[in-house]
Amino acid sequence: MAKRPALEMFTPEEAAKRLGSGPIDASVYHDPAWFEDEREAVFKAEWIHVGHACEVPKPGCFIRRDLEYARASLLIVRGRDGEVRAFHNVCTHRGTQLTDDTEGKRATFSCRYHMWTFGLDGALLSAPEFERFGLEKSACGLKQVALESCAGLLFVNFAKPPKESLREFLGAIADELEELPLSRTVEFDEYVFEIDANWKIYVDNFQENYHLKFIHPRTGAPAIGPDNPLAYPTHYGFSGAHRGQTLWRNPEPPVLPPVLRMAMERGIRAAGRDGFPPRKTDFKLFPATFVLGLASHVFTHTIYPVSVNKTRGVIRFYWPNRATDASTRFAREFNMASVRDVHAEDRGVIEAGQGGLGSGAVDVIHFQEHEMLCRHLNEQVRLRVEALRAQRD
């Protein structure tokens, strides 16, 4: 049986014909009311990437995730039965948060206020003088949030219940994610930064190459050639709300500096042992997670809205083996630093975009045929917000 393609691919011209070419309402990038509806219709209704199974390797291991879009703090815990679950970091007595720790390992979780104690499965185990409440302990367990995983990546969904499973949400992309070495990850490197911009301005920046030549003349140089001076992708792909692209390969890339060439070669040699993909994988999962699989590493970039004009980006590099020698550690650090350099170049122009759009000076924005992923994201968000508003009305 033929494998179903993860994305339906189109040339730029075909994608533009499919998605249209009209202007986009600029207010969706700065209107507080629209942002509040995005929180409900998009981020609290869809599967959002929050971590990796390697962070909770054994029963009792937990991580805390604070998600401003849901005004929630979550405990993601591996139970004694091996299952990973997500609970609100909230005692069911008087609402006190159970822990300030970002990670750790515990046999139970106890509220410091009145010592209500909960098990790894969220059940209330004990509470001082509980008989005075006239309640059953079974009614007082921690409030759970739906959590599912694919290829080791952990996703949560605040809908009650979610409208579809994670695999249904991902479709054929799930199979391709599982071909990456993500599920064998034992170590990861991470960096986090916040930026004063709406989440869609942030996401849009990382799904078009129109700006590459102007903002990244040095770091983007290997992707730029005389036949394609803006390094436009050759095809754009769609699968429901998800997106992707086939990047153009420069037939005559410039000679790399020796230190960069050494780092890449070292990373690719290690990848040959560990099963990194021979071709580039580039998925943009709705609403705001990028998954890139390269010959030397795999990384995710997840964008979390903090407010209408503030966003957090979390970039993670996943490794299926441990760095046991200095050259491997150097190659990993160099790869991560190279990506961070690109993001640092983007920061100022993203914030300048928020400043301009937030002023209300322009009513609409325009996307050309090589900005179809930006148009697709806006369309998918608009459909969900308008459906929420229609339901509310």
| pLDDT value at residue 335 | 82
Q: Is the pLDDT of residue 217 over 60?
A: yes
Give the whole-number percent of the chain exceeding pLDDT 70. Answer: 90
Least Cα distance to 209 among 197, 195, 222, 223 occurs for: 223
Judged by DSSP in three states, 151 sits in coil
Rounded CA separation 225/79 (Å): 52
pLDDT given at position 278: 46
- Centroid of chain to Cα 149: 13
**Directed axis angle between helix 326-358 and helix 258-274, to 10°?**
110
Three-state secondary structure call for residue 78:
strand
For 238-291, write each residue's pLDDT tens digit. Answer: 999 999 998 877 776 666 556 556 655 655 555 444 544 545 678 999 999 999
Spatial contact of 209 and 233, defined as CB atoms under 8 Å apart: yes
The SS3 assignment for 368 reads coil
Whether residue 230 is predicted with pLDDT greater than 90 in this model: the reply is no
For 324-370, how does the pLDDT look when each residue is reduced to its tens digit (9 = 90+)?
A: 888 888 888 888 888 899 899 999 999 999 999 999 999 999 999 99
CA dist 392 and 390 (Å) reads: 5
- By mean pLDDT, which of 29-38, 161-170, 304-313, 336-345 is the weakest? 336-345
- Output the average pLDDT for the chain: 91
Which position has the higher pLDDT, 334 or 71? 71
Amino acid at 119: G
Residue type, 222: P
SS3 (DSSP) at 123: coil
Residue whose token pair is 């054994």? 58
- Rounded to whole angstroms, the Cα distance separating 79 from 77 reads 6
Res 269: pLDDT: 54
DSSP-derived letter for residue 228 is B
What's the mean pLDDT in 190-208?
A: 96
Q: Is the whole-model pTM more than 0.85?
A: yes
Domains contained in the chain, CATH given:
1-45+172-393 (3.90.380.10), 48-161 (2.102.10.10)
Weakest-pLDDT range from 13-22, 109-118, 216-225, 340-349: 216-225
**Among the listed residues 233, 215, 200, 244, the one whose alpha carbon sits nearest the alpha carbon of residue 373:** 244
10 Å CB burial of residue 390 (0-12, 13-18, 19+) is exposed
More confident residue, 205 or 224: 205
Of the chain, the percentage scoring pLDDT greater than 90 comes to 75
At residue 267, the pLDDT reads 55
- 91 pLDDT higher than 80: yes
CB 14 within 8 A of CB 8: no
